[in-house]
C-alpha cells in the first residue's frame, strides 16, 4: 500500500490577513452574527432551505455528515474551531444537506445566508478568510477520501486515531503523549473510519493490550504514535 502523505505539523506560512474567526469575534455586529452555545449531542440540519444558517465554530468540535437516500448519515469530516459550514448553500451552490453533530461542547457564531453574502461582498478580508476556512475543511475531506482507498481496516482506524489527536487543542502540554480529550463513541468512530463498531472495539482493545493507547473515561492517550500505521502495531 502506498503511504498517504501527511504534512508535518508546524506554524505554516505567515498570514498577512486575519482569520474569519478573528474578524467576526472582533466586530460581530458588522456581520450580524450572533453567538450561540453548543452542547454535546446538539444536531443541526443545514440544507437549501431559506432559513438554514451559516455556522462558524468558535470552540469545541463537531462532526459533519451527509444523509443518503438509504437513510444513513455518512461522515464527511470534522468541523474545527475557525471553520464554517453552510456557506455552499448560502452561495447558491445547489441543493445539499449537511448534518452537524456536536461532539465536544463549545460555541459558534451564526449568520443568516443573507448576512453571510452581504458581508462577503462588502469586506474582501472576510471573503478571503471564508475561502481559507473552506479550503482547510476540503483538504481534510480529500485526505480522508485518499485514506478510504486502503483495504486495511486497521490502517483506517489508526489514521482516525492520529487525526483525532492532531486536532487543534487536543495535544497534551509539555511534549507528553498526544491526547484525545473527548473520545467519540465506538459507533461514531466506526462511521469516521468506514468500518463496523465491532472492528473498532476489537482494534482499540488490542492497542490497549499492547500499551499503544491508554483509556481513562473519555480521555484517550496515544503512548506510542509510531506504532500506528502500516508498519506499526
Q: Which CATH class is domain 152-227?
A: mainly alpha
Q: In terms of CATH, what superfamily is 20-147? A: Jelly Rolls (2.60.120.10)
| CATH 1.10.10.10 domain span(s) along the chain | 152-227
CB distance 146 to 77 below 8 Å: no
| CATH 2.60.120.10 domain span(s) along the chain | 20-147
pLDDT tens track for 3-54:
444 544 444 444 567 899 999 999 999 999 999 999 999 999 888 776 778 9
pLDDT at residue 204 tops 90: yes
pLDDT tens track for 61-80:
999 998 887 777 888 888 99
What DSSP string runs through 109-140? EEE-HHHHHHHHHH-HHHHHHHHHHHHHHHHH
- Going by C-beta distance under 8 Å and a sequence separation of 6 or more, which residues neighbour residue 9? 166
Amino acid at each position: 500500500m502506498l503511504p498517504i502523505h501527511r504534512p508535518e505539523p508546524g506554524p505554516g506560512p505567515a498570514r498577512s490577513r486575519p482569520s474569519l474567526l478573528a474578524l467576526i469575534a472582533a466586530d460581530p455586529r458588522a456581520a450580524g452574527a450572533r453567538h450561540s452555545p453548543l452542547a454535546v449531542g446538539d444536531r443541526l440540519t443545514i440544507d437549501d432551505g431559506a432559513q438554514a444558517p451559516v455556522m462558524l465554530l468558535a470552540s469545541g468540535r463537531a462532526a459533519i455528515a451527509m444523509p443518503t437516500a438509504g437513510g444513513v448519515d455518512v461522515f464527511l469530516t470534522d468541523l474545527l474551531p475557525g471553520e464554517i459550514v453552510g456557506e455552499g448553500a448560502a452561495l447558491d451552490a445547489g441543493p445539499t444537506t449537511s448534518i452537524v453533530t456536536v461532539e465536544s461542547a463549545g460555541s459558534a457564531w451564526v449568520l443568516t445566508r443573507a448576512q453571510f453574502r452581504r458581508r462577503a461582498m462588502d469586506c474582501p478580508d472576510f471573503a478571503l478568510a471564508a475561502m481559507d476556512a473552506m479550503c482547510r475543511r476540503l483538504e481534510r475531506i480529500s485526505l480522508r477520501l485518499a485514506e478510504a482507498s486502503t483495504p486495511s481496516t486497521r490502517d483506517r482506524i489508526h489514521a482516525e486515531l492520529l487525526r483525532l489527536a492532531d486536532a487543534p487543542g487536543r495535544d497534551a502540554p509539555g511534549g507528553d503523549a498526544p491526547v484525545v480529550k473527548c473520545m467519540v463513541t465506538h459507533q461514531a468512530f466506526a462511521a469516521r473510519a468506514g468500518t463496523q463498531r465491532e472492528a473498532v472495539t476489537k482494534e482499540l482493545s488490542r492497542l490497549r493490550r499492547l500499551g499503544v493507547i491508554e483509556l481513562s473515561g473519555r480521555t484517550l492517550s496515544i503512548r506510542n504514535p509510531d506504532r500506528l500505521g502500516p508498519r506499526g502495531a
